[in-house]
Amino acid sequence: MRVGIGADHRGYLLKQGLIQRLGANGFEVEDFGTDSEDSVDYPDFAEALARRVSNGEIDYGILICNTGIGMSIAANKVNGAYAALVLDLDMAEAAGRHNKANILTFSAEKTTTEEAWEMFNTWRKAEFEGGRHERRLKKIQAIENAG
């Protein structure tokens, strides 16, 4: 499975920790940057990753900034990208089961590498339930397609 991961300067250290965990567990990882703790603009990384996830080139996307909010907003501007900010295992599971999210965003300020790893695994194992959630997803897609 191919995982894309990107972060701004505030999420750099968490990104590096997750890259190590992903690689050690057999995931093919594509690093979208950044490459240091020098200040950068998070929308650049969010857009690049979201485009690759939305067109199916990457199976799972992870984005990290200080709060996770900016990354999720920026990624969700790309058609077909469904980024969910998660702070715990319940949110991670719901992102998969209820929202069919294809990108997780993490708060570097509030999330350790171990917590992010656990949330990633919970999310990727959660199967979309469909039903009422499918109806809601279709409404979101209609909004998205309306521009």
- Cα–Cα distance measured from residue 56 to residue 64, given in angstroms and rounded to the nearest whole number: 20
Question: Which of residues 36 and 144 earns the better pLDDT score?
Answer: 36
Per-residue confidence (pLDDT) for residue 74, from 0 to 100: 98
- Cα–Cα distance measured from residue 79 to residue 21, given in angstroms and rounded to the nearest whole number: 29
- Cα–Cα distance measured from residue 97 to residue 124, given in angstroms and rounded to the nearest whole number: 10
Q: Which residue range(s) make up the domain with 113? A: 2-146
Active-site residue (options: 2, 98, 124, 133): 98
Which pLDDT band, with edges at 50, 70 and 90, does 12 fall under? very high
Query: Does 18 qualify as catalytic in the annotation?
Result: no
The tokens describing 12, both together, are 């750099």
| CATH number for the domain that contains residue 115 | 3.40.1400.10
Active-site residue (options: 40, 65, 83, 92): 65
Per-residue confidence (pLDDT) for residue 83, from 0 to 100: 98
Element (H, E) at 3: strand 2-7
Which pLDDT band, with edges at 50, 70 and 90, does 147 fall under? confident
Per-residue confidence (pLDDT) for residue 71, from 0 to 100: 98
Maximum CA extent, the chain: 45
Per-residue confidence (pLDDT) for residue 119, from 0 to 100: 98
pTM for this model (two decimals): 0.95
pLDDT digits (tens, 9 = 90+) for 85-119: 999 999 999 999 999 999 999 999 999 999 999 99
**Counted domains in the chain:** 1
Per-residue confidence (pLDDT) for residue 123, from 0 to 100: 98
Amino acid 97 reads: R
pLDDT digits (tens, 9 = 90+) for 23-62: 999 999 999 999 999 999 999 999 999 999 999 999 999 9
Query: Does 16 qualify as catalytic in the annotation?
Result: no
Per-residue confidence (pLDDT) for residue 84, from 0 to 100: 98
